[in-house]
């Protein structure tokens, strides 16, 4: 019998995909399911972006490209990052990758090995921990707390750094909480990192253009003192409603970019060529679709928060970014995962239990508001009915 390597027994997954599969199955069986589980915009990719991909194919752009992406696209990424963060970025430091996840995969592979510690947000995107465990490094959760507005705490993060720490993963605006870490807190973290010059930082800013109430997004790229050790993770999936195109990018310190180029050569060769031209059109074309999408998310965000706060046992902080709300359900008397499961099976509403994002997610469920206001209202009414009948609050 063949034997696979033990590393693969440690790899995890994203329960959001399992919930999506179950929701799809229930819908196929004729159940009326509202999906607040999935983390992707419910908008179409803007037409001019789709047309750019079609045109690229017609123009014969269907061959291999350089492993880190076509130069005009890397130039456009560099210009866009410079415009938004003020950091001078060279196209030579940019890698176009098949989705934001690939940057995380590459960065964690680069720094993770037995004996190394990697800090990551908890609750946070589940793939961070999964990949850290895959490499044999020790996952060190940085608790993300509601009382902190779901921002990460500089003090807590710095206190967890030891000589074994190789990489810190940060995510703001954050999945699953919608938390945005204020600039003052990031200033504090960056100041504290001066003491740890060998620690690299992976800054997952995939929701960077989705903040609300005029709150600015602070990029880790905007700090010159750490720029030689920051890996920026960003991409097109969320900003331009392009999750299925598999288009992401990263900005790497000069010391690392060639390692990523080689990883690309060994694994994915290059990103789908017409998709790269779509990505170019997205960055260089009109941005009004992005603004319209964010404005619509903002409207839905208010609806979710207002309605969720009316439900028995539930209290919902106002998310400051991304398109998720993370209501506290501890007063319903339910544990989060059984509640999420009962809501799907009995009330026909897909949500994700907080513990799917880490142990500090207990007591919360994630509601994605990437769904119509009508569906959000219907879903929350169903959750309300369910809790009225099944609430265990004393």
The least CB distance from residue 70 to ligand PLP, in Å, is 19
Of 39 and 354, the one with the shorter C-beta distance to ligand PLP is: 39
Given candidates 41, 235, 274, 361, which one binds ligand PLP under the rule CB under 6 A?
Answer: 235
How far apart are CB 91 and ligand PLP at their closest, in Å?
A: 20
For the bound state, the minimum distance from the C-beta of residue 236 to ligand PLP, rounded and expressed in Å, comes to: 7
125 near ligand PLP, rule: CB under 6 A: yes
Site membership for ligand PLP, residue 206 (CB under 6 A)? yes
**Does 99 sit near ligand PLP (CB under 6 A)?**
yes
User: Is 39 near ligand PLP (CB under 6 A)?
Assistant: yes
CB 220, CB 253: distance < 8 Å:
no
Query: In the complex, what is the shortest distance from the CB of residue 271 to ligand PLP, in angstroms, rounded to a whole number?
Result: 11
Q: Does 237 bind ligand PLP (CB under 6 A)?
A: yes
Among 37, 69, 100, 279, binds ligand PLP (CB under 6 A): 100
Distance (Å, rounded) from C-alpha 235 to C-alpha 219? 14
Residue span binding ligand PLP (CB under 6 A) among the ranges 99-107, 211-219, 312-320, 344-352 = 99-107
- For position 204 contacting ligand PLP by CB under 6 A, the verdict is yes
Other beta carbons within 10 angstroms of residue 58's beta carbon come to 10
CB of 66 to ligand PLP, least distance (A): 20
Closer residue to ligand PLP in complex, CB, 180/206: 206
Residue nearer to ligand PLP on the CB measure, 304 or 311: 304
The CB-of-331 to ligand PLP minimum distance in angstroms stands at 27
> Closest approach of Cβ 135 to ligand PLP, in Å?
18
Residue 155 · residue 204 · CB < 8 Å:
no
Tell me if 175 contacts ligand PLP by CB under 6 A: yes
Q: Which stretch binds ligand PLP (CB under 6 A): 55-63, 98-106, 326-334, 340-348?
A: 98-106
Binding site for ligand PLP (CB under 6 A): 39, 99-101, 125, 171, 175, 204, 206, 235, 237, 243, 248
């Amino acid at each position: 019998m063949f034997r696979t390597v033990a590393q693969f027994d440690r790899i995890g997954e994203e329960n959001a995909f399992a919930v999506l599969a179950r929701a799809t199955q229930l819908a196929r069986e004729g159940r009326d399911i509202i999906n607040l589980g999935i983390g992707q915009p419910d908008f179409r990719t803007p037409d001019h972006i789709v047309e750019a991909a079609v045109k690229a194919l017609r123009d014969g752009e269907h061959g291999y490209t350089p492993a880190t992406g076509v130069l005009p696209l890397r130039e456009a990424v560099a210009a866009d990052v410079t415009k938004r963060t003020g950091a001078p970025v060279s196209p030579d430091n940019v890698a176009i990758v098949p989705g934001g996840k690939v940057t995380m995969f590459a960065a964690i592979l680069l720094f993770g090995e037995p004996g190394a510690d990697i800090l990551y947000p908890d609750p946070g995107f589940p793939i961070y921990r999964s990949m850290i465990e895959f490499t044999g490094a020790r996952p060190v959760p940085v608790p993300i707390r509601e009382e902190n507005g779901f921002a990460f705490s500089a003090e807590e993060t710095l206190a967890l750094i030891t000589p074994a720490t190789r990489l810190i993963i940060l995510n703001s605006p954050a999945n699953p909480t919608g938390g945005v870490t204020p600039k003052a807190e990031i200033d504090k973290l960056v100041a504290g990192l001066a003491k740890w010059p060998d620690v690299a930082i992976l800054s997952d800013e995939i929701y960077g253009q989705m903040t609300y109430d005029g709150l600015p997004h602070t990029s880790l790229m905007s700090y010159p003192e750490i720029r030689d050790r920051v890996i920026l993770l960003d991409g097109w999936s969320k900003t331009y409603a392009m999750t299925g195109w598999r288009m992401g990018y990263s900005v790497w310190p000069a010391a690392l970019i060639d390692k990523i180029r080689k990883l690309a050569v060994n694994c994915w060769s290059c990103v789908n060529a017409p998709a790269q031209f779509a990505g170019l059109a997205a960055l260089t074309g009109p941005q009004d679709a992005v603004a319209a999408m964010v404005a619509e998310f903002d409207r839905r965000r208010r609806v979710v928060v207002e309605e969720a706060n009316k439900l028995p046992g539930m209290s919902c902080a106002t998310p400051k970014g991304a398109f998720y709300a993370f209501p506290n359900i501890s007063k319903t008397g339910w544990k989060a995962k059984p509640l999420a499961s009962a809501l799907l099976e009995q009330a026909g509403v897909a949500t994700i239990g907080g513990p799917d994002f880490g142990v500090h997610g207990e007591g919360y469920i994630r509601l994605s508001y990437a769904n119509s206001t009508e569906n959000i209202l219907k879903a929350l009414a169903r959750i309300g009915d369910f809790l009225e009948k099944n609430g265990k609050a004393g």
